[in-house]
Amino acid sequence: MKNIYKMFAVACLVATAIPAHAQVVDFESDAPGNKANGFVSNSSPLVSFSAAPGGQLIVSNFYESNSTNGLGVFNDDRNYLRMDFASAMSALSIDFGNDDPCCGPPGMNVFLRLFSGATQVGSVTMTANMNDIMDQTIAYTGAAFDGAEFEYDANLIEVVDNVRFEGAVVATPEPASLALMATGLVGIGGLVRRRRKA
């Protein structure tokens, strides 16, 4: 009978696991110009952007982003894009450009590092195609994270767009689900009592 209780509890938790919806930050609803570190786009309040360790963020209609707004991490130095999320995420992808062959080395690497608190929980490395067009995407899916860093392995301005992210699945029973679980447990308890009396 204990196995029935366990199976019922697991089924209830699975049934009430609620995945967060995917979000996209495309910077289209943000006014062009300089942005303070800790910038939150109008596209989503769930992520803030910073130029680390102390650079400048600019929203602009960059050439690389095909005449749409993007986010640039200035200056031409080793600053990188830092993203802090309001809750745990499990997937992230970023379109990037400004991989300019005039100023970056052939085979320049692009890094995406994922953090849970101060602990790095994942990373992705890819090679930029060096065509100065926003036509590549770096992506991660895996362990839950609440922070991320995006960086070029060269003194270039990182230009990003279409930052997509999705929350980790969290088991959060709703009141109706809790009532259903309680009813099921009461029913199972009644069956156990009847069998003991018989």
Number of Cβ within 10 Å of residue 10's Cβ equals: 10
Q: For domain 20-168, which architecture applies?
A: Sandwich (2.60)
Asked, as a colleague might, if the bond just before 75 is cis with ω within 30 of 0, I would say: yes
Q: Assign 184 a pLDDT band (cuts: 50, 70, 90).
A: low
- Helix, strand, coil proportions of the chain in percent (round to 5)? 20, 45, 35
Over the stretch 65-98, which tens digit does the pLDDT of each residue have? Answer: 567 899 999 988 889 999 999 999 999 999 999 8
Residues 43 and 149: their CA atoms lie apart, in Å, by: 19
Is pLDDT of 182 > 80? no
Over the stretch 5-14, which tens digit does the pLDDT of each residue have? Answer: 554 444 454 4
Sequence ranges of the domains in the chain: 1-15+174-198, 20-168
The structure tokens listed for 120 are: 């790095």
pLDDT at 11: 46
The structure tokens listed for 54 are: 């102390």
Q: Is the pTM of this model over 0.85?
A: no
The structure tokens listed for 114 are: 């994922």
